[in-house]
Amino acid sequence: MDRFSQISVRTNRCSVPVRLIGRTVRAMLHASELVVYDGQQEVARHERLIAKGKVRLVWTTSRSC
């Protein structure tokens, strides 16, 4: 994960909660979505980006993310 709270999965980038900057997370890539885990806890879920080089950014005001 980079300092901008994004992870690279294949050729795309997706946002994850800022509190995880500097940590190692696990990404599970499914046919239609990407699910990101911190240990056993799901921390992000995004629609899968099909085109190369795309970025999926999600902003939230929730403190739980």
- Digitized pLDDT (tens) for each residue of the chain, 65 residues in all: 777 888 888 777 888 889 988 889 999 988 888 899 999 999 999 888 776 666 665 554 444 43
- Predicted pLDDT at 22: 86
Pair of tokens at residue 39: 């240990």
Are 16 and 25 a contacting pair, CB within 8 Å?
Answer: yes
With a threshold of 0.85, does the pTM exceed it?
no
